[in-house]
Structure 1
């Protein structure tokens, strides 16, 4: 079960520490993974702020994402996250270049965010909450938590917390997007702050909320006999 838990958690993007806790930093991709998610958007913002020219700014963002892919090739590390980043930046760049609106660089992220919210809400409604599927394996609970109403309730709450984090992104960022060029700087800044940092906080809070109750003492609450 321990081996299965480690394999499942790794495939799901979550990792555990040596003492069985969730490693939130590594789950977010580590320092390099966080940089891969932040830097293309940051480079785009800086380049566009300086040049006020969309195509060079988009090329700079794409180039930054490509550099991270090359770095992973050199390190001989898995390319999944870096390639996903290149594809995501590519779609964002194509959309912004097509519409001619710099703020559209951030538009695909809204749809991705909304898709995650829908998937997690459905998992809660069908009583297969995502937090339980991930954390349950990290804790070596397997799927036994589904047989315990209290554990199921806890994991549904944990999933709602993650949904709340994702919904907060939309509540803050969509109005900034609708402001057009006037809201671009604020939109880009909040996208950086509410990306990996907020995700790490949400996962950590969900992990704490879903902690199993301490095991009952074998003496069933009676004081241990004195020596």
Structure 2
């Protein structure tokens, strides 16, 4: 199956506005993450993946706020109620994310990643604080995984793979890749792989949420975060390079 929508070449070219804008947005995001073949030429796959994750600082900013929340909550669990100190856990988690953002501001470095982490920590904390349930700290993550997973799945089955749109923009061919069956097939399966990653997170984590097992849920969220994201980034990068060998020389 190659995810073809049955649209002919002429019709494909008649989809300029939405596909071009989306491809540009996705391509620019990939470029900012260090995944532009033009600037990554000669670099190893490991280097590209590491750059996409933001290096050591990006990894720390992504992981530590969530790690602080789950560690503090677990360590403060009251044996009588089986509940941890929610406010302390949330306060320290958001506080750490805020410190990362301030540190970047002081160093006059780009704050996008750190600010994104602060916003994510703040929104998650709001869900938990307003409901008084620690498990609700993970609701924003469920929403994000659902939206991203659905977007990748829909793009695959309609023949407009998000990976293909991003790659097409970066490689300067727009949506011309849709006329190449091999590219369409590869981009289809890459989009399916990303959709499967987000679906797997939901399948594994939602039962723990409904069981109110905060410790296990927090641990699995970390395990299914960057450790799964990095290999899929590598596979995506290698697959795209294989489709455009000229850029690998």
1-structure distance, mates of 2:142, 2:29: 27
The answer for the alignment partner of 2:177 in structure 1 is 145
1:94 to 122, 126, 132: 126
In structure 2, the gaps of 5 or more residues are: 1-23, 77-83
Contact 1:158 1:207 in 2 (8 A): no
| Cα offset, 1:6, TM superposition | 8.1
2-structure distance, mates of 1:53, 1:99: 14
2-structure distance, mates of 1:60, 1:200: 27
1:24 to 49, 67, 76: 49
2-structure distance, mates of 1:8, 1:77: 18
1-structure distance, mates of 2:151, 2:186: 18
Cα pair distance change 1:60/1:214, threshold 3 Å: closer
Contact 2:27 2:167 in 1 (8 A): no
Contact 1:24 1:204 in 2 (8 A): yes
2-structure distance, mates of 1:159, 1:55: 39
Contact 2:94 2:122 in 1 (8 A): yes
The answer for the alignment partner of 2:195 in structure 1 is 163
The answer for the alignment partner of 1:190 in structure 2 is 220
Contact 2:69 2:89 in 1 (8 A): yes
1:15 aligns with 2:47: no
TM-score with structure 2 setting the length:
0.75
Q: Residue deviations 1:3-62, cap 9 Å, x none?
A: x99856324x35242327761121122221121111111101111122221111110001
1-structure distance, mates of 2:156, 2:148: 12
1:42 to 24, 47, 67: 67
Alignment of 1:70-89 (within 5 A): 70-89=102-121
1-structure distance, mates of 2:102, 2:170: 32
> SS at the partner of 1:15?
coil
1:68 aligns with 2:100: yes
Aligned residues: 209
TM-score with structure 1 setting the length:
0.82
1-structure distance, mates of 2:55, 2:245: 30
Let me know the Cα RMSD of the aligned residues. Answer: 2.4
2-structure distance, mates of 1:168, 1:64: 28
In structure 1, the gaps of 5 or more residues are: 216-227
Report which structure shows greater RCO (CA 8 Å, sep ≥6).
2
> SS at the partner of 1:127?
coil
2-structure distance, mates of 1:79, 1:171: 32
